[in-house]
Amino acid sequence: MPGAYVALENGHVVEARGRVPGTACGELVFTTAYTGYEESLTDPSYEEQVLTFSYPLIGNYGVREERFESDRVHPRAVVARELTEDVVEWLEAEGVPAVDHLDTRDLVGGIREEGAMKCGIAVGENATPEDALAELERCPGMSDHENIGAQVSVHERETYLGEDVGDDKTVALVDCGAKGSIIDALVERGADVHVLPHDATEDDVEAVDPDVLFVSNGPGDPANFEAAQELVETYVGELPLAGICLGQQIIARALGGTTEKMDFGHRGVNQPVLDLESNQVVMTTQNHGYTVADPGELDVTQINVNDDTPEGLESDDLSVITRQYHPEANPGPNDTLGFFDDVLSMAPRKRLVLAD
């Protein structure tokens, strides 16, 4: 096996077993999910990050493309206690460096104590600690990736027609790194979904004449998605607005709110969320490193039980509804899927025109 080294921003260099050769750098983050590694590895929100799995065995049920959230692996590198051959072969085909046989409990504990940090990784027959340190030295911070949207977004409009389940709606989805299951959830409810680039213009939106403007999830700092924020500012009060994850943050910023970077974010399938109206708690799947600090003109309707950060924002007057977590990525229970019904219910019902 090739040698491998992980150089951390806190000064530590960890030796590991190399599984896929190469060099990489990125923000080191972790996920607590026991399952769903295919979904995590293809989630565009992990762009420019190095993903550490806290669960010790990754790959125990193989690799199935129907579980993918996008067309490629997004983390710059992968760290685990043990990777199966199926996952190693997949990452090798994708050209994504990977390491295992290191103490991921210690690594995750360090991230929890010190926060997400930059790291450099070097894997290969002649890899040295100095190679990993050189990768770390060149690694930018997440807020420095000013055009990260272009790395994960469609470059031209893509259209997905809704299933024939009744009253149809048209959704303009601003793709800041959208997961495929978000599109699926809307299509299954009869919506025609027009996926627009992250830097879509007002003309792009007008061309599809949507009933709802939806801002997707995605990677990085919401402050770097200025075009999407401008669209929200343009259409608030004119079209119903919805957003998930990064989309919630962008919409909040557009409506006078602020965002901030979290110490290590929320990543996993066991995040408890309290609905302030019903006083019910649901378990959610999450993947984000930024959060809304001030909701601006929006009302906080749901909070994270662990740290009180906003998980749901709404405004009846402005027809806005957002979620910080991923309603479509149910962690077992599917209590949160009703969000998509709520989104489509904001759109005015279309009148049927009967032929003579």
Q: Determine if residue 160 is labeled as part of a ligand binding site.
A: no
Which of 218-251 are b and which e, b meaning 16 or more Cβ less than 10 Å from the residue's Cβ? bbbbbebbebbbbbbeebbeebbbbbbbbbbbbb
Where does residue 274 rank: exposed (0-12), middle (13-18), buried (19+ CB within 10 A)? Answer: middle
Closest to 291 measured CA to CA, from 312, 274, 315, 314: 312
Host H or E run for residue 287: strand 281-294
Active-site option among 27, 38, 47, 328:
328
Q: Is residue 246 marked as binding?
A: yes
Look at the block and give the residue holding tokens 């951390």: 8
328 is catalytic: yes
3-class SS at 149? helix
Give Cα 324 to chain centroid, integer Å.
10
49 annotated binding-site participant: no
Count of C-beta atoms within a 10 Å radius of residue 126: 8
The three-point CA angle 245-28-331 to 5° equals 45
Of residues 194, 198, 288, 326, which has the active-site annotation? 326
Based on the residue annotation, tell me whether 326 is a catalytic residue of this protein. Answer: yes
Structure token digits, residue 106: 């210690």
Closest by CA to 292, choosing from 270, 320, 322, is 322
Judge whether 218 is annotated as a binding position. Answer: yes
Catalytic hit among 39, 74, 245, 311? 245
Residue 217 labeled ligand binder: no
3-state SS, residue 94: helix
* 245 is an active site residue: yes
Q: Does 312 carry a binding-site annotation?
A: no
List the binding residues for L-glutamine. Answer: 45, 218, 220, 246, 249, 287, 289-290
Enzyme catalytic residues: 245, 326, 328
Binding positions = 45, 218, 220, 246, 249, 287, 289-290
